[in-house]
Amino acid sequence: MLIKDIGEQGLLRILQKFCPAEIVGDDCAVLPTNPHQSLAVTTDMLVDGVHFSDRTTSPYDAGWRAAAANLSDLAAMGAKPLAVTVALAVTADTAVLWVEEFYRGMTACLEVYHTPIAGGDVVRSSVVTISITAFGEVECDRTIRRSNARSENWAIVATGVHGASRAGLELLLNPEFGLNLEKGDRTSLILAHQQPKPRLDVLPMLWEILGCEGEIEPPLSPPLGKGGKQDLNSPPLSKVGVNSPPLTKGGPGGVNSPIAIAGMDSSDGLADAIIQVCRASGVGAKVDRTKIPIPPSLSEIVSAEKALDWALYGGEDFELVLFLPIANAELLVEKIGNGAAIIGMTTDSTDIWLTDSSGIYGDIRLESDRGFQHF
């Protein structure tokens, strides 16, 4: 049997047997350091030709994306970033300027979130490869797990638009594509792919709603990317109802202590995030296709079906996909503002459906094998 026969998920299931079950299975490993606080640790590897290429990504942008991916994993766990280490494998013929630009991009992203590079390693390799390990701290009663969703009156929240990164990649791969776009819209979509923003800014809002305001430092105003400012927030999908009080009984984490929330980031696609959380929690979901926030400019370059496909399966949007009681979900969407939306509800089955409140399309199951897989 070869790895290609079992695929990425099959390989991960084998490897997880070598790790303590209570540590693995989320966006980060969570290691308790004292009764009240834990260390969150995540590692991501980037390989030239797989995760980035000179055709679509400058070394500066590759560095930014590498940092953003790790910070997004920390955000998905509710963790405050502390530092990262970087292991760099390069060929002897790699340009020094390429390495410097990669680190400039990485540092530019990290500085927005007060996160230093704390060391690393350098080795020779036949293929440029970067491995980043990020460290964060999270209070034990605020750890966001994939396995904590409940089936009664819990909503699914997307913290921002989806499909933008996939559209940006298409624009980079095919320069003749989307020539009818306004310059600002084109730049925004490309920046969504090249310089995504991890949603650490959502955490203080979340803790405030859950009644456990924290000490996470707000991000600095991010620098303008090469080409302009990223602005992908779509208009509000509907007026958010906030007549119900937030659910906070049972302590700082709300009901289902330690914290009444579940979630992960959408780096591997919105559909993948929904499916992963539902499976880990043993719940089902109904996701309304009409509520999924998609950049309005996509309607100018692709069909509605293609835009939805990119939103669900395109990946690398680095938003958070959060499951929480409906009253808190409504408040969170209102606080985040444009681009955030309640996109569905959990159910007591294990089926995960894409529905259509407009009645145009029939219900279909979300597919678990459409996102990017290495094998």
What does the pLDDT read at residue 46?
92
Which CATH number is 242's domain given? 3.90.650.10
Query: Of the residues 77, 108, 141, which one is the last residue of a structural domain?
Result: 141
Torsion angle defined by CA atoms of residues 160, 164, 165 and 168, in that order, rounded to the nearest 10 degrees: -160
Beta-strand relationship, 352-355 and 284-288 = parallel
Question: Residue 37: pLDDT band by 50, 70, 90 thresholds?
Answer: very high
Same domain, 242 and 303: yes
What is the rounded distance in angstroms from the CA atom of residue 237 to the CA atom of residue 339?
A: 8
Which range has the worst mean pLDDT, 33-42, 211-220, 307-316, 359-368?
A: 211-220
Give 134 or 255, the one with higher predicted confidence. Answer: 134
What is the rounded distance in angstroms from the CA atom of residue 162 to the CA atom of residue 309?
A: 10
What is the rounded distance in angstroms from the CA atom of residue 292 to the CA atom of residue 273?
A: 14
Same domain, 246 and 126: no
Domain count, the chain: 2
Report phi then psi at 109, rounded to 5: -70, -45
- Domain for residue 375, yes or no? no
What does the pLDDT read at residue 249?
31
Mean pLDDT of 198-224: 75
Ramachandran area for residue 268 (φ above 0: left; ψ -120 to 50: alpha; else beta): alpha
Query: Of the residues 95, 110, 141, which one is the last residue of a structural domain?
Result: 141
Mean pLDDT of 32-59: 90
- Domain for residue 230, yes or no? yes
Tokens of residue 291, six digits: 């509520």
- Domain for residue 373, yes or no? no
Same domain, 82 and 131: yes
- Domain for residue 374, yes or no? no
- Domain for residue 372, yes or no? no
Q: Mean pLDDT score of the chain, rounded to an integer?
A: 88
What does the pLDDT read at residue 228?
42
What is the rounded distance in angstroms from the CA atom of residue 134 to the CA atom of residue 72?
A: 10
What is the rounded distance in angstroms from the CA atom of residue 46 to the CA atom of residue 66?
A: 7
Q: Is the pLDDT of residue 257 over 80?
A: no
Which residues, other chains included, contact 262 with Cβ-Cβ below 8 Å and sequence gap of 6+? Answer: 144, 145, 146, 147, 148, 149, 277, 280, 281, 322, 323, 324
Mean pLDDT of 354-363: 89
- Domain for residue 370, yes or no? no
Same domain, 117 and 160: no
DSSP 52: B
Which range has the worst mean pLDDT, 1-5, 6-10, 87-91, 263-267?
A: 6-10
Other C-beta atoms lying within 10 Å of the C-beta of residue 94:
17
For the entire predicted model, the pTM comes to: 0.86
- Domain for residue 371, yes or no? no
Maximum mean pLDDT: which of 17-26, 158-167, 236-245: 158-167
- Print the domain residue range for 131: 3-141
222, 112 in Cβ contact below 8 A?
yes
Which residues, other chains included, contact 162 with Cβ-Cβ below 8 Å and sequence gap of 6+? Answer: 266, 270, 292, 293, 294, 310, 311, 312, 314, 317, 319
Same domain, 208 and 308: yes
Same domain, 171 and 38: no
Which residues, other chains included, contact 357 with Cβ-Cβ below 8 Å and sequence gap of 6+? Answer: 288, 290, 291
234, 294 in Cβ contact below 8 A?
yes
Same domain, 89 and 180: no
Same domain, 128 and 159: no
- Domain for residue 310, yes or no? yes
Which CATH number is 35's domain given? 3.30.1330.10
What is the rounded distance in angstroms from the CA atom of residue 4 to the CA atom of residue 145?
A: 30
Q: Is the pLDDT of residue 221 over 90?
A: no
Give 323's strand partners.
Answer: 156, 262
Distances (CA, A) of 101 to 82, 95, 106, 193: 23, 10, 9, 18
Same domain, 347 and 212: yes
Query: Of the residues 111, 141, 171, which one is the last residue of a structural domain?
Result: 141
What does the pLDDT read at residue 16?
86
310, 166 in Cβ contact below 8 A?
yes
Reported as a single tens digit per residue, the pLDDT across 286-319 is 999 999 999 999 999 999 999 999 999 999 999 9
Same domain, 243 and 310: yes
Same domain, 39 and 169: no
Give 57 or 312, the one with higher predicted confidence. Answer: 312
Could you tell me which of 197, 187, 203 has the C-alpha nearest to residue 160?
Answer: 197
Same domain, 24 and 9: yes
Query: Half-sphere exposure (CA, 13 Å, Cβ side) for 113?
Result: 31
